[in-house]
Amino acid sequence: MTLLDAVRIALRTIWAQKMKSSFSVLGVFVGVTFLIAVVSVIEGMNSYMTEKFAGALLGVNTFQLRRFPDFQTGDVSDSTWRAWVRRPSITYADADAAVAGLDPSLLWSWVSQNTSDVEYRGKTAARVRVAGTNEQYFDVKGWRFAAGRPFTSQEAQTGQPVIVMGYDLAQRIFGDADPINRELKIQGMPYRVIGVVESQGNLFGMSLDNFIVAPAQSPVRRFVNPPNVIDELVVKASSAQQMQAAMDQVEAVMRTRRHLRPAEPDNFAVETASGVLDFWDKINSILLLALPGLVSISLVVGGIVIMNIMLMAVAERTHEIGLRKSLGARRRDIMRQFLVESATLSTVGAAAGVGFGLFVAWMVTTLTFMPARVAPWSVLVGVGLGAAVGIGAGAYPASRAARLDPIAAMRQE
Amino acid sequence: MTNIVIRTHDLRRTYQMGAETIHALRGVDLDIARNEYVAIMGPSGSGKSTMMNVVGCLDSPSGGQYWLNGTEVSELTDDALARIRNKEIGFVFQTFNLLPRASALHNVELPLIYAGTSARKRRERAAVALTRVGLADRMGHKPNELSGGQRQRVAIARALVNDPSILLADEPTGNLDSQTSEEIMDVFAALHAAGQTVIMVTHEPDIAKHAHRVVTLRDGRVHSDTLRDAA
């Protein structure tokens, strides 16, 4: 008897008992659904975090020099926090010294920011992120303009009250009207809109377009930071190696300026996107550790159910087994018939689980901000696990069937 | 010698029932030649079922020898016996023993599946066997769509499909009315006329009289062995 024949017999039997079959594979179905759905969400989050989160918030091959880290991962204790707050601020002088020795091909800008309400003809947009920076900031961010232009080096140096704003914010304030050259007020001071940046979308449901960028020397300097102080120096390199070299150099310059002895730790932070991603990797690895446990619980339960179903099938079909043996079925033929039946049953359940898992992943993508990306390996693993559970669970019932004595088996009815 | 299909010498079979030992066969010597039509008779408990099981290689003797086509089979393993059942023996049972959910054609194909015949060949040969027993127009029917006589014909077709050395029938008419029984006996007669060796276990003298030789067992031994002249 060929394997194909055995699978055909198995499918015939499974199909004849649709209801019973579908209940018996529930455990495997749930396990595989869970596997596919969770892996898809994790994979989706992975690419989301790397491409979008790190890319949009910090940028690739970009690092920042700050007083203390912008992205706190995990709990920061009170004492750590107090130590951070006691650190000296980063000043323009620090930034100038840090970038002085850097490769001129690197892009850099200082950034100081705060949130403020923005007024336009009596309308108010609340809590807008307002940043004071230089003209290289737009290149550091890699922004493209939906309208207008970035401010120029002259405008930055002379501190002109010109601003560039995010797409959603412009829509919110000006509606369909052209925002260019309109005047709005921040903290009572008038600014002229010269550019609108293309929409950056959102991150975890929060808009990334709710910002205004102005020259650091413009009147925004009065409320974003105390005089001479900046929040961060952002440096963008063109490669990872170049970035690492620049980071080392900035760190060295800062340590010299702060007169730190070799044993003393940095009293400033040099932060990269990969640092932020470490946090996600931590969550990720916890999820990936917990996943096999959860999946195997449902697969073990599913396997036990299938084993019982198969034991019942053997008991129910004792007569048939006796008949098949009398017609020339060898032990291995009977063994194979039940193993294949059990494996087929379980694999069908697993395949249904894959299907439903893909559906769940699709639902997650459609209904939530979380992206789901189906990992091909998870589909293969899911189906493979299904088959393996079926073979494992079928082994004992099948060997019982194979060892039946044909005369005794046929006597039973 | 080459014409002897079945030869047993001092064939014994004992069962252990708790502390009691049951001697079902107490030394049976029997030769059956090719193309014989033999009825094995005897009252219940005479050992005829055991004899049938041993001859059909479903059971192994406890003592003595059994040669099938000159090969001693008394000492073979389970799987080797399965092979012999598949190739050399065609069973016809009292209760037909068809798979209820399978068509007549699929039921007849079963022995060929275990013989490793290709799907196309199986279908062809099963169709030929069904045609031979007069069921060419019932191949797609399931057992519950067939009459008792038709079911037994399907079983006979299944027994014949591998061209076995012996057709071994165990009370083949036990579940049939006398009219249908005669029809089945006609089928057996035709097969015998075509050269088939037929061994039939029965306790009905009316049925046994169709055979050309009647072997009567009593208490696990051959009690009488008579050749008949019936045509």
ipTM field: 0.92
pLDDT one-digit tens code per residue, B13-26: 999 888 899 999 99
Smallest Cβ–Cβ distance between A327 and the set B78, B95, B110 belongs to B110
Check whether A279 has a pLDDT greater than 80. Answer: no
A vs B, Cβ pairs < 8 A, gives 58
Work out the percent of chain A whose per-residue pLDDT is above 90.
32
Is A332 an 8 Å CB contact of chain B?
yes
Alpha-carbon Rg for chain B in angstroms:
17
Instruction: Judge whether A296 and A386 are in contact, CB under 8 Å.
Output: no
Query: Which residues are within 8 A (CB) of A90 and not within 5 positions of it... i.e. 6 or more apart?
Result: A65, A66, A67, A229, A230, A231, A232, A233, A268
Q: Which residue has the higher pLDDT, B8 or B75?
A: B8
Check whether B89 has a pLDDT greater than 80. Answer: yes
Q: Which residues of A fall within a CB distance of 8 Å from B53? A: 407
Stretch B45-69: mean pLDDT, rounded?
A: 91
The model's pTM: 0.69
Stretch A143-164: mean pLDDT, rounded?
A: 91
* Phi, psi values for residue B220, rounded to 5°: 80, 10
Check whether A59 has a pLDDT greater than 90. Answer: no
Model confidence at A58, pLDDT cuts 50, 70, 90, reads low
Structure tokens at A259: 């007169």
Check whether A5 has a pLDDT greater than 80. Answer: no
What are the distances in angstroms from CA A37 to CA A231, A356, A375?
41, 8, 10
Q: Which residues of B fall within a CB distance of 8 Å from A410? A: 93, 97
Stretch A34-48: mean pLDDT, rounded?
A: 85
Q: Which residue has the higher pLDDT, A56 or A130?
A: A130
Q: Which residues of A fall within a CB distance of 8 Å from B119? A: 5
CB contact under 8 A, B82 and A324: no
CB contact under 8 A, A320 and B99: yes
What is the Cα–Cα distance from A217 to A219, expressed in whole angstroms?
Answer: 7
Q: Phi/psi zone of residue B10: left (φ > 0), alpha (ψ -120 to 50 degrees), beta?
A: left
Model confidence at B88, pLDDT cuts 50, 70, 90, reads very high
Is A376 an 8 Å CB contact of chain B?
no
* Phi, psi values for residue B151, rounded to 5°: -60, -45
Smallest Cβ–Cβ distance between A327 and the set B79, B101, B114 belongs to B114
Confidence at residue B194, expressed as pLDDT on a 0 to 100 scale: 92
Smallest Cβ–Cβ distance between B82 and the set A319, A330, A407 belongs to A330
* Angle (nearest 5°) at CA B187 between B54 and B32: 35
Neighbours of A227 (CB within 10 A): 8
Model confidence at A72, pLDDT cuts 50, 70, 90, reads low
CB contact under 8 A, A328 and B59: no
Check whether A50 has a pLDDT greater than 80. Answer: no
Neighbours of B224 (CB within 10 A): 11
Q: Where are the alpha helices (DSSP H) in A25-145?
A: 26-47, 55-57, 78-86, 92-100, 137-141
Nearest residue of chain B to residue A334 (CA atoms): B114
Is A141 an 8 Å CB contact of chain B?
no
Q: Report the interhelical angle of A240-257 vs A92-100 (nearest 10°).
A: 130
Model confidence at A365, pLDDT cuts 50, 70, 90, reads confident
pLDDT one-digit tens code per residue, A338-348: 999 899 999 99
Q: Which residue has the higher pLDDT, A241 or A52?
A: A241
Check whether A334 has a pLDDT greater than 50. Answer: yes
Q: Which residues of A fall within a CB distance of 8 Å from B114? A: 1, 324, 327-330, 333
Burial class of residue A120 in the structure, from the number of CB atoms within 10 Å of its CB (0-12 exposed, 13-18 middle, 19+ buried): middle
Smallest Cβ–Cβ distance between A331 and the set B79, B95, B110 belongs to B79
Check whether B231 has a pLDDT greater than 70. Answer: no
Nearest residue of chain A to residue B106 (CA atoms): A9
Check whether A361 has a pLDDT greater than 60. Answer: yes
pLDDT one-digit tens code per residue, B112-151: 999 988 889 999 999 999 999 999 999 999 999 999 999 9
Amino acid letter, residue A369: F
What is the Cα–Cα distance from A206 to B132, expressed in whole angstroms?
Answer: 80
Confidence at residue A74, expressed as pLDDT on a 0 to 100 scale: 61
Structure tokens at A156: 């930055």
Confidence at residue A238, expressed as pLDDT on a 0 to 100 scale: 86
Q: Which residue has the higher pLDDT, A79 or B39?
A: B39
* Phi, psi values for residue A25, rounded to 5°: -100, 10
Q: Quickly tell me which residue has 């193993």 as its tokens.
A: A339
pLDDT one-digit tens code per residue, A191-215: 999 999 988 877 766 788 889 999 9
Check whether A91 has a pLDDT greater than 50. Answer: yes
Stretch A338-362: mean pLDDT, rounded?
A: 91
Is A410 an 8 Å CB contact of chain B?
yes
CB contact under 8 A, B158 and A12: no
Confidence at residue B28, expressed as pLDDT on a 0 to 100 scale: 94
Confidence at residue B127, expressed as pLDDT on a 0 to 100 scale: 95
- To the nearest whole number, what is the mean pLDDT of chain A? 87
Is A12 an 8 Å CB contact of chain B?
yes
Model confidence at A39, pLDDT cuts 50, 70, 90, reads confident
Model confidence at A57, pLDDT cuts 50, 70, 90, reads low
Nearest residue of chain B to residue A403 (CA atoms): B78
Least confident of A6-20, A298-312, B39-53, B69-83: A6-20
Relative to beta strand B37-41, strand B63-68 is unpaired
Amino acid letter, residue B20: E
Helices (H) and strands (E) counted in chain A, each on its own, are 16, 14
Nearest residue of chain B to residue A325 (CA atoms): B82
Smallest Cβ–Cβ distance between A1 and the set B91, B114, B162 belongs to B114
Model confidence at A53, pLDDT cuts 50, 70, 90, reads low
Relative to beta strand B37-41, strand B213-218 is parallel
- To the nearest whole number, what is the mean pLDDT of chain B? 91
* Domains, chain B, ordered by start: 37-52+78-227 (3.40.50.300)
Q: What is the DSSP letter of B95?
A: T
What are the distances in angstroms from CA A316 to CA A310, A311, A397?
10, 9, 12
Largest CA distance in chain B: 54
Stretch A56-76: mean pLDDT, rounded?
A: 76
Check whether B2 has a pLDDT greater than 80. Answer: no
CB contact under 8 A, B82 and A12: no
In what order do the strands lie in the sheet containing B37-41? B89-92, B166-170, B197-201, B37-41, B213-218, B221-227
Nearest residue of chain B to residue A321 (CA atoms): B99
Check whether A328 has a pLDDT greater than 60. Answer: yes
Is A407 an 8 Å CB contact of chain B?
yes
pLDDT one-digit tens code per residue, B165-186: 999 999 999 889 999 999 999 9
Stretch A126-135: mean pLDDT, rounded?
A: 90
Which of A330, A381, A336, A331 is closest to A357 using CA atoms?
A381
Confidence at residue B1, expressed as pLDDT on a 0 to 100 scale: 47
What is the Cα–Cα distance from A151 to A136, expressed in whole angstroms?
Answer: 9
How far the first Cα of chain A sits from its last, in Å, is: 26
Instruction: Judge whether A33 and A356 are in contact, CB under 8 Å.
Output: yes
Instruction: Judge whether A158 and A189 are in contact, CB under 8 Å.
Output: no
Model confidence at A54, pLDDT cuts 50, 70, 90, reads low
Work out the percent of chain B whose per-residue pLDDT is above 90.
78
Q: Which residues of A fall within a CB distance of 8 Å from B55? A: none
Boundaries of every domain in chain A: 3-52+278-411, 98-239
